[in-house]
Amino acid sequence: QVQLVESGGGLVQAGGSLRLSCAASGRTFASYAMGWFRQAPGKEREFVAAISWSASNIYYADSVKGRFLISRDNAKNTVYLQMNSLKPEDTAEYYCAAHWRGYGSTNENDYNDWGQGTQVTVSS
């Protein structure tokens, strides 16, 4: 099990950027694939991006491809989500999640551990 804490959310104007961080506890972080998901009010949680333990596999939702960049620093037990060219429709609570020995699944049901979330609000 790993504990996850997200940070970096906030209010930004459309076209702006934010970088989310997700810090993980434990010494086995490098064995986890990591994912970012988001949930907007009144909507189901959706996949945003995922990265395998070695960063050899990276996946993005079509809606964020070319604008968002997921990365990880295993020495710091941290995964990042760089969000550029933000749009009002990116407004949501963003969650990071960990998948033991995973490849970087887009399915939230594959993830074992979740953070508490960080709010991102993009104004038009």
pLDDT digits (tens, 9 = 90+) for 43-70: 999 999 999 988 899 999 999 999 999 9
Query: In this model, does residue 15 exceed pLDDT 90?
Result: yes
The residue type at 74: N
pLDDT, position 86: 98
pLDDT, position 54: 87
Please list, in sequence order, all residues whose beta carbon lies within 8 angstroms of the beta carbon of residue 93, skipping any fewer than 6 positions away: 38, 39, 40, 117, 118, 119, 120
Q: What is the pLDDT of residues 18-27, one digit of tens each?
A: 999 999 997 6
- Contact assessment for residue 34 and residue 98, using Cβ atoms and an 8 Å cutoff: yes
Pairing of strands 92-100, 78-83: unpaired
Q: What percent of the chain has pLDDT over 90?
A: 87
- The pair of structure tokens assigned to 71 is 């990365």
